Amino acid sequence: MTFSETGVLAAARQCPSPNQDERPATCEINLLVIHGISLPPNEFGGPWIDRFFQNKLPPDAHPYFAEINHLKVSSHLLIRRDGELVQYVPLHQRAWHAGQSCFNGVNGCNDFSIGIELEGSDETPYSEEQYKTLAQTIRLIQRHYPAITDERITGHSDIAPDRKTDPGPAFDWPFLRQLLAETR
């Protein structure tokens, strides 16, 4: 099987999420959405993101978890603070990361996008290791999904501006663009 058939990145730790389904048959994967996540908010490390995407978040472990443990969400990938890459959903499948969203006039970004979460928060700078892993991962994805051009890499806040703020003002878009230019 080829990468496009399995959608699995060999370099990623696999942590399958049940929160996925088939993409519409006529959809071309042509967008990459960058997110930021921390569980609990503004805290890093621990098993909570994995558990959240696997519907195993214990509501009594933190007050915030009681508010969100009923949600059924996922992302294709997560990049932890140390640069570790984790995969929850094969890239050819639809992950449930964008919610109500619109890019260039097209609604329902989950149908045609790949979602990458970065462990972080809107105001906490992301680590250099995260940017390096992100740039390498983007280039790998682009080799298999060439419709995802550099112009079709966006933030969650850009496709859902009334609902979301991530990856936030701490995300260094110029640095990511610099790293992507260096990996051409």
Kindly state which CATH superfamily the domain 3-182 is placed in: Peptidoglycan recognition protein-like (3.40.80.10)
Whether the upstream peptide bond of residue 40 has omega within 30° of 0, thus cis, is: yes
Which candidate in 28, 117, 119, 129 is catalytic?
Answer: 117
Say if CB 44 and CB 119 are below 8 A apart. Answer: yes
For 164-181, give the DSSP string.
--TT-TTS-HHHHHHHHH
Catalytic annotation present for 117: yes
Domain boundaries, the chain: 3-182
pLDDT digits (tens, 9 = 90+) for 52-99: 999 999 999 999 999 999 999 999 999 999 999 999 999 999 999 999
Distances (CA, A) of 126 to 55, 101, 133, 160: 26, 24, 12, 21
- The pLDDT assigned to 1 comes to 41
Distances (CA, A) of 92 to 28, 73, 113, 120: 10, 17, 9, 26
Residues 90-128 as b/e (b if ≥16 CB within 10 A, e otherwise) read: bbbebbbbbeebebeeeebbbbbbbbbbbbbbbeeebbe
| CA angle 36–67–69, rounded 5-degree value | 75
Residue 79 Cα to chain centre, angstroms: 8
- The pLDDT assigned to 70 comes to 96
Pairing of β 20-21 and β 94-95: antiparallel
Residue 183: which pLDDT band, with cuts at 50, 70 and 90?
A: confident
| % residues pLDDT > 90 (the chain) | 95
